[in-house]
Amino acid sequence: MFGKKTEKKLRILFLDRKNDYTSQLAEYFANQFYENQYEVYSAGFEHDIIDCDMISVMYQNGEDMRRQVSKDLKNTELLPKDDFYDFVVYLEQPIFDEFSKKSPWQGKQILAPMINREDFTATDDAELFDDYVKVIDQVREWVKENLADPDKLSALVTA
């Protein structure tokens, strides 16, 4: 009856084009580090499957994200039906440029561009592994640093 009032979690959506790459990593790490602080989702503007090489590299580095599911923005089963988010984080510059001005999330959008697969320079499997590790580390560090304090997210809003 006089229990502690439960604080509402902030709701965050991480976006990349197909929800197959960095948005999956961001959702995974945000849930790993801040599950009690945020309600976290990821999605894409197009539907695809999660990058299998990325899943494999994560697994080889002790992170098991095999239960992650790729979602597009029309997914009503795995995304909130009310489409409300406190923050929407775009992890690719091109999709931010294409969609941020016409999105329903004005004043809540953050641009946090990560390394694109197109920027990989690998010429063999070992180098490809290293390229994925760089992206994984980049996303992990961004999530750790910027979600540690919700006020920091507010300061990052760009659109």
Provide the pLDDT confidence category of residue 76 given band limits of 50, 70 and 90. Answer: confident
Beta bridge partners of 110: 89, 157
For the CA atoms of 53, 79, 76, 65, the dihedral, rounded to the nearest 10 degrees, stands at 30
Tell me the average pLDDT across 101-112: 94
**Does residue 70 register a pLDDT over 90?**
yes
What lies within 8 Å, CB to CB, of 83 at 6+ separation is: 104
Provide the pLDDT confidence category of residue 8 given band limits of 50, 70 and 90. Answer: confident
For the entire predicted model, the pTM comes to: 0.92
Residue 3 CA to its chain's centroid (Å): 34
- The pLDDT value given to residue 43: 97
List pLDDT tens digits, range 13-49: 999 999 999 999 999 999 999 999 999 999 999 999 9
Homologous superfamily assigned to 10-156? Response regulator (3.40.50.2300)
Average pLDDT score over the chain: 94
% pLDDT > 90, the chain: 90
CA distance 75 to 79: 6
- The pLDDT value given to residue 93: 97
